[in-house]
């Protein structure tokens, strides 16, 4: 039997029950199990002859999913109360719930996210069905786990594993969240790339069409998992042409928007946009900025190929705590992904191979440590007792083995040109009254006393003895 004979009633027992005829006569017609590797989206989009549920069970398609009743989902979400509301999107609202074996024998005790299809929203039954088909069959550590679904009358719901950290978009761009460290950003990029690459490597590739930061979910340990496949489609190995353009502005590839050409390279472009968001800390579209800076790709792309201008686009909230070499390689990769020529973009397997070594780079600056220097008129003993006169912050960069940054060096060279005598007088005044950003200057003021301080003083000054 061809897999194209499947229709919706063949694998969603919770739906259309009234329209399914008696299945018993067909049980005797099944001579041997049907072996089908995967049910494709195109298989259910075309009408065909009804297939018995027993035939379906022999293929093990979607056998891992639980079919919940609406009453059960109302129970675990407290009737979809506001206190359990997590958020919402084009599909509809999402609520938090909890399931265990008291709800149904065999259920693992865990928190879940219940997504309800909004009948007035931008998505509908086919988008709901697409998620069931894709996530019901394809399992990967970096794809969100679909636990089950509900299909009663007009109600369409999906039950996922709960992801504690929400989505990447909120983690990057919401003010009340802590800034994501550089290493965490690269980790998320690698894992999201692995999930997307897994979809592209299927016998019939899955094209997401809506890969974006808000569709990358994070668990408690910031492990990334892709979600929301309502707009996904099975694509050919080459290029498909579609008349209906879907997705999110700012992430969609130009060839898809302009002429409807859709391929796995369209997803690669979207991945490049997300990588750019991780580098810059800015969303793909920012209406609060003036025209030239509203579109992130248009603003940042010219700067990505010039490594000397990277510091102009790297997220300032990182405060310099990132790998310079890693940023250069990530910027080069983003530039390649954002090429206007699809054939010039790398595959996701190449993207992942390029990003993985960045996790092991050790040229990330050490966090700032503190020296305490006596101000003018104070002796060394007062400094050791109080340690609160003047604070100097100096960021040690391993690969350069010096404290002064490039900007400080430029300013110092400018002072040298203006006159040696004036420079020395100005510098001496600064050393007595303000923060000093040089080890040499510290030794001139403190002499050898820096080495003779007791260990307790080192701890007070946040310096390791």
Three-state DSSP class for residue 403 = coil
Determine phi and psi for 315, rounding to 5 degrees: -50, 115
CA dist 277 and 290 (Å) reads 18
CA dist 215 and 135 (Å) reads 14
Fill in the DSSP letter of residue 366: P
Determine phi and psi for 377, rounding to 5 degrees: 90, 0
Fill in the DSSP letter of residue 13: T
Three-state DSSP class for residue 291 = helix
Q: What are the angstrom distances between the C-alpha of 317 and each of 119, 122, 158, 288, 447? A: 40, 35, 36, 19, 36
CA dist 53 and 31 (Å) reads 15
Contact 283, 249 (CB under 8 A): no
Active-site residue flag, 286: no
Contact 34, 115 (CB under 8 A): no
43, 55, 210, 267: the catalytic one is 210
Sign of CA dihedral 449, 451, 456, 458: positive
Q: Is 304 exposed, middle or buried (0-12, 13-18, 19+ CB in 10 A)?
A: buried
Best CA proximity match to 299, nearest among 325, 330, 268, 277: 277
CA dist 239 and 345 (Å) reads 14
Q: How many helices (H) and strands (E) does the chain have?
A: 19, 14
Place of tokens 């636990």: 147
Contact 461, 380 (CB under 8 A): no
Antiparallel, parallel or unpaired: β 155-161 and 66-67: unpaired
CA dist 254 and 265 (Å) reads 11
Q: Which residues are catalytic?
A: 210
């Amino acid at each position: 039997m061809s897999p194209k004979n499947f229709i919706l009633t063949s694998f969603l027992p919770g739906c259309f029950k009234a329209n399914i005829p008696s299945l018993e006569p067909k049980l005797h017609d099944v001579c041997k199990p049907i072996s089908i590797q995967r049910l494709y989206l195109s298989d259910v989009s075309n009408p065909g002859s009804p297939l018995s549920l027993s035939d379906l069970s022999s293929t093990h398609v979607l056998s891992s999913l639980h079919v919940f009743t609406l009453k059960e989902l109302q129970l675990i979400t407290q009737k979809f109360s506001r206190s359990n509301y997590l958020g919402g999107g084009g599909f509809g609202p999402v609520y938090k719930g909890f399931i265990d074996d008291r709800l149904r024998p065999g259920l693992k005790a865990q928190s879940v996210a219940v997504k309800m299809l909004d009948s007035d929203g931008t998505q509908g039954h086919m988008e709901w069905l697409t998620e069931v088909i894709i996530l019901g069959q394809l399992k990967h550590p970096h794809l969100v786990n679909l636990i089950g679904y509900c299909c009663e009358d007009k109600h369409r719901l999906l039950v996922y594993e709960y992801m504690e950290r929400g989505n990447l978009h909120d983690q990057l761009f919401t003010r009340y969240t802590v800034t994501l460290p550089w290493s965490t950003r690269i980790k998320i990029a690698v894992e999201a790339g692995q999930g997307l690459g897994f979809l592209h490597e299927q016998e019939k590739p899955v094209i997401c069409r809506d890969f974006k930061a808000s569709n990358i979910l994070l668990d408690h340990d910031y492990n990334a998992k892709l979600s929301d496949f309502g707009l996904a489609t099975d694509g050919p190995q080459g290029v498909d042409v579609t008349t209906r353009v879907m997705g999110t502005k700012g992430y969609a590839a130009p060839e898809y928007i302009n002429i409807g050409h859709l391929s796995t390279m369209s997803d690669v472009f979207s991945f490049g946009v997300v990588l750019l968001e991780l580098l810059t800390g800015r969303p793909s579209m920012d209406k609060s900025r003036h025209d030239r800076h509203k579109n992130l790709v248009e603003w940042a792309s010219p700067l990505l190929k010039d490594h000397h201008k990277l510091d102009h686009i790297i997220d300032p909230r990182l405060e310099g705590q990132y790998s310079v070499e890693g940023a250069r390689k990530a910027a080069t990769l983003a530039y390649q992904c954002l090429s206007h020529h699809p054939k010039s973009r790398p595959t996701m397997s190449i993207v992942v191979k390029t990003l993985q070594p960045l996790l092991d780079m050790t040229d990330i600056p050490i966090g700032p440590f503190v020296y305490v220097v006596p101000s003018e008129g104070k002796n060394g003993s007062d400094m050791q007792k109080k340690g609160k006169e003047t604070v100097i912050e100096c960021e040690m960069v391993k690969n350069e083995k010096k404290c002064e940054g490039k900007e400080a060096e430029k300013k110092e060279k400018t002072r040298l040109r203006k006159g040696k005598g004036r420079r020395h007088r100005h510098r001496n005044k600064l050393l007595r009254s303000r923060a000093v950003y040089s080890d040499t200057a510290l030794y001139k003021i403190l002499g050898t006393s820096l080495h003779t301080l007791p260990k307790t003083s080192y701890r007070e000054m946040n310096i390791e003895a």
